[in-house]
C-alpha cells in the first residue's frame, strides 16, 4: 500500500519518468541526460540487476540504482526524481496489482490525459471485470450539525 501511494505521489508531482531501457547508455550520454533532465537527485529502477547501470550511477553522489523487486518507499522518498524502465514498470504492475485490477480497457483514461473528461466520472471506480464505472471513491461530506452553537459569554445571548 505504501509503495502504491509513493508511486502515485511521484506521478502526481511530475517526478516520475519512464524510459524504454538503459541498454544504450554510455557514460557521456548518462551524464548529459542527468544534467539536462535535472536528475541530480534521482533513483533509477530497472527490472533486474544491471551491473552496467550500477557502475554508471556509482559516479554520482545523490543518484541510486535499485532493481524493481528491491524498491522500497524510503528509497523513493529520499530522492526527488524516479526513473523507471519499462521492464521495471511491468514487474511493479504485477507485484502491486495482485487483485487483477490492472486496467487494460482503452476507453478508460486518467483525468489528466483528457481535461474535457466528463466530471461526473471523476470520482468513480472502474471495475475491469464488468467494464463499467461504479461507486464513489470519495465519501459523502458529513451533514451539518443540528446542534446550535452555544454562547461563549453573556454578551453572545
**What was the pLDDT predicted at 13?**
86
**What was the pLDDT predicted at 112?**
44
pTM: 0.60
64 and 83 in contact (C-beta within 8 Å)?
no
**What was the pLDDT predicted at 40?**
86
Strands 16-19 and 63-67: unpaired
- Positive or negative torsion for Cα 50, 53, 58, 61: negative
125-131 contact pairs (CB < 8 A, 24+): 128/100, 128/101, 128/102, 128/103, 128/104, 129/100, 131/105
Distance in angstroms (rounded) separating the CA atoms of residues 156 and 149: 10
Provide block-wise average pLDDT over 10 residues at a time, the chain (157 residues): 86 87 84 85 88 86 88 89 88 74 55 51 65 63 64 62
Taking every pair of Cα atoms in the chain, the longest distance, rounded to a whole number of angstroms, is 78
Q: Which distant-in-sequence residues (6+ apart) come within 8 Å of 129 by Cβ?
A: 100
Amino acid at each position: 500500500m505504501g509503495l502504491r501511494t509513493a508511486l502515485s505521489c511521484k506521478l502526481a508531482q511530475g517526478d516520475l519518468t519512464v524510459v524504454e531501457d538503459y541498454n544504450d547508455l554510455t557514460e557521456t550520454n548518462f551524464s548529459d541526460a542527468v544534467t539536462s533532465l535535472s536528475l541530480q537527485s534521482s533513483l533509477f529502477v530497472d527490472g533486474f540487476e544491471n551491473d552496467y547501470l550500477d557502475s554508471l550511477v556509482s559516479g554520482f553522489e545523490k543518484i541510486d540504482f535499485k532493481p524493481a523487486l528491491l524498491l522500497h518507499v524510503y528509497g523513493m522518498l529520499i530522492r526527488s526524481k524516479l526513473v523507471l524502465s519499462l521492464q521495471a514498470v511491468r514487474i511493479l504492475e504485477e507485484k502491486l496489482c495482485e487483485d487483477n485490477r490492472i486496467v487494460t480497457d482503452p476507453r478508460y483514461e486518467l483525468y489528466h490525459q483528457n481535461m474535457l473528461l466528463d466530471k461526473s466520472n471523476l470520482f468513480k471506480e472502474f471495475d475491469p471485470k464488468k467494464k463499467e464505472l461504479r461507486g464513489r471513491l470519495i465519501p459523502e461530506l458529513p451533514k451539518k450539525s443540528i446542534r446550535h452553537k452555544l454562547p461563549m459569554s453573556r454578551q453572545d445571548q
